[in-house]
């Protein structure tokens, strides 16, 4: 091999790799691109989250509105009116005891008072029904309802230390309704209302 051929082989070998500077520059450029692209990709993957939250809120608010449109108690006369409770005696009819704050065996289309919604069949996942009996599906969502008396003559209504009556047979003039909706993201949305015996 002549001298000229050796020089061209050395020249080709020198061209066949990356220098340290080229590698460092490549790493810096890739890191810069990653810092721009990662938030962009995360925003795309989380873009449905606000819509899912809005659906959960709509599901809970619709049920709470439906509940609040019903009578305070099974014994409440049509058009309203106070009942005789353990806290006050203002009417002839007697309010339902705490042990009976449950559905009286009525179908969903016949729910006529707040207590009817304290029903295990209301605790559903994926498939729901409206008050007219129409079924609809919201995959990944679950919903539950709880109705309790609040001993308003003995304790303040405090979300941090709930004092709901859940045992025995007392009746008071105040019921707390809690609707909980869980979204497919695992977020729980609580809707709380207080209804009074008036």
* Adjacent-strand bridge partners of 180: 144, 190
Per-residue pLDDT of the chain (198 residues; tens, 9 = 90+): 555 555 555 555 555 677 888 889 999 999 888 888 887 777 666 666 888 889 999 999 999 999 999 999 988 887 778 888 888 887 788 888 888 888 878 888 888 899 999 888 888 888 888 878 888 888 899 999 999 888 876 656 665 565 677 777 788 888 999 999 999 988 999 999 999 887
Query: What's this model's pTM, rounded to 2 decimal places?
Result: 0.72
In a 13 Å sphere around the CA of 173, the CA atoms on its Cβ side amount to 16
Longest dimension (CA), the chain: 122
User: How far apart, in whole angstroms, are the C-alpha atoms of residue 152 and residue 155?
Assistant: 5
CA distance 177 to 192: 6
Quote the CA–CA distance of 61 and 91 in Å, as a whole number: 32
- CA–CA distance from 171 to each of 32, 43, 83 (Å)? 66, 51, 10
Task: Read off the DSSP letter of residue 94.
Answer: B
- Do residues 198 and 174 lie in contact, with contact meaning Cβ atoms separated by under 8 Å? no
């Amino acid at each position: 091999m002549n001298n000229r051929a050796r020089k061209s082989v050395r020249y080709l070998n020198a061209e066949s790799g990356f220098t340290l500077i080229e590698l460092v520059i490549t790493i810096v450029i890739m890191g810069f691109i990653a810092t721009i692209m990662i938030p962009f990709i995360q925003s795309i993957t989380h873009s449905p989250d606000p819509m899912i939250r809005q659906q959960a809120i709509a599901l809970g608010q619709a049920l709470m509105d439906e509940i609040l449109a019903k009578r305070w108690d099974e014994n409440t006369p049509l058009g309203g009116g106070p009942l005789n409770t353990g806290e006050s005696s203002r009417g002839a009819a007697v309010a339902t005891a705490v042990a009976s704050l449950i559905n009286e065996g009525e179908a969903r289309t016949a729910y006529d008072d707040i207590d009817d919604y304290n029903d295990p069949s209301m605790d559903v996942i994926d498939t729901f029904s409206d008050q007219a009996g129409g079924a609809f599906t919201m995959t990944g969502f679950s919903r539950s309802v709880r109705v309790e008396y609040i001993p308003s003559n003995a304790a303040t209504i405090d979300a941090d230390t709930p004092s709901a009556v859940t045992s025995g047979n007392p009746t008071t003039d105040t019921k707390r309704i809690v609707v909980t909706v869980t979204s497919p993201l695992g977020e729980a949305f609580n809707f709380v209302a207080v209804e009074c015996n008036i």
